[in-house]
Structure 1
Amino acid sequence: MTITENNIIDNGVNVEALLGAREMLSGAPEAAQFTFAASNRWVNGTHSRSTVNGFVGLGDDQAHRVPYSVDTDHPEIFASEDNGPTPPEMVLMGLAGCLTAGVASVAQNRGIQLHSVTSTVEGDLDVAGILGIDPEVRNGFGGIRVRFEIDADATRDEIEAVVAQSQKRSAVFDIVANPTAVVVDVA
């Protein structure tokens, strides 16, 4: 591993705060229970807007600095207006963001200076299921591939270990790789 100037590693992650939170939450498991929420409002056609703001964590209501909104839609080839990414693309973006955040955090904790991290996430989806053409075809992704390109002051083995640890701790990786109970209700 190459050590950067003055041995200061700065990937922009406050590892001391994360480790402190881990230690504190180890002694207070009820505070580690979080509930995240998103609201969505239909705009027109297949276009809708999702917003996140509040969540519950550390035993209390929490909020982002500002509400965040994302528009989703379908592309013109599906007779839509293409006002945003498709919902399946949002899942891929969430996976990319979660894994990349993990790479930065793990690298910082292991004393590895990052110079650049790029990921490409691809998901294969057969729309014959969604469109009801073939009831045997699942509606979701049949497979997802993630490819990282990482420039860091580390060996290939060290970089692969960082990616493996990021994957191991990624909430979104777990969500897409394992069954999750989903309950749908109409008010």
Structure 2
Amino acid sequence: MFIPKHYKQKNILKMETLQKTVNGFKSQDIMDTVGAIQSNPEIAKFKFRARNKWISGGHNRSTIQDFYGACREDETRKEPFVFDNSEPPILLGNNEGANPVEFILHGLAGCMTTTMMLHAAANGISVDHVESSLEGDLDVQGFLGLDETIRNGYQKIKVNFKIEGDLTEEEKQKLISFAYMSPVFDIVTNKVPVSLSLNA
């Protein structure tokens, strides 16, 4: 059977594109994941969990291991991730770990970066280097109950990205637009219903 040369070249090019790795993501993996979700939206529903125990003073410890996703409980993590939360001495702690509002900055930075790189890979945009710095303004009079007009959390968060690669200014701006799609960006910029309960 005769196969036209241009048809062969087109298929070879398609195969090479699917096998290509961009920003650490395989194009085939991205397409397979998107395709699976499009065929069964239930796959896209996740439940993430964290457990926490108080140790002493401002020191407490969180463990993260199991989660539900892709229609099943995940069993890939054999050991939990452990995060110590504390406060600096000026906030009555002993620096056993970063404080929780600093973890928010860590979560926001990590999520925006991952989101940016994933969407960049899906769009065929290769990036050499990305780093960010974050700063959050917080007035502790709020959570200490000293001034009801001051909110308990951050008043504002500033994020600065440094992006390097063979990129046009337009492509860099597109990468920034991808960061706005971050789940943690959504969490910190919109109200999320949080329910508290007490085990008897």
Please report the TM-score for the alignment, with normalisation by the length of structure 1.
Answer: 0.90
Q: Looking at both structures, which has the greater relative contact order when contacts are Cα pairs under 8 Å and sequence separation is at least 6? A: 1
CA distance in 1, matches of 2:73, 2:145: 41
Residue number in structure 1 paired with 2:110 = 97
Residue number in structure 1 paired with 2:26 = 14
Contact 2:21 2:27 in 1 (8 A): no
Q: Root-mean-square deviation (CA), in Å?
A: 1.6
Residue number in structure 2 paired with 1:4 = none
Query: 3-state SS of the aligned residue for 1:127?
Result: coil
CA distance in 2, matches of 1:126, 1:88: 12
Unaligned segments of structure 2, at least 5 residues:
1-16
Q: Which runs of 4+ in 1 moved over 4 A?
A: none
1:116 to 119, 129, 136: 129
1:145-176: CA deviation from partner (whole Å, max 9, x where unpaired): 111001011111101101202322x1100100
Please report the TM-score for the alignment, with normalisation by the length of structure 2.
Answer: 0.84
Contact 1:9 1:113 in 2 (8 A): no
Contact 1:41 1:49 in 2 (8 A): yes
Overall identity of the aligned pairs, in % = 36
Structure of greater Rg: 2
Moved more, 108-117 or 123-132: 108-117
Contact 1:112 1:152 in 2 (8 A): no
CA distance in 2, matches of 1:125, 1:63: 38
Change (3 A) 1:9 1:21: closer
How many residues in Structure 1 have an aligned counterpart in Structure 2? Answer: 180
1:38-58: CA deviation from partner (whole Å, max 9, x where unpaired): 001112111111111000011
Residue number in structure 1 paired with 2:57 = 45
1:139 to 139, 152, 156: 152
Unaligned segments of structure 1, at least 5 residues:
1-6
Contact 1:75 1:81 in 2 (8 A): yes
Query: 3-state SS of the aligned residue for 1:63?
Result: coil
Shift of 1:109: 2.2
Contact 1:33 1:57 in 2 (8 A): yes
Change (3 A) 1:15 1:98: farther
2:192 to 177, 180, 184: 180
Higher normalized strand content (fraction of residues): 1
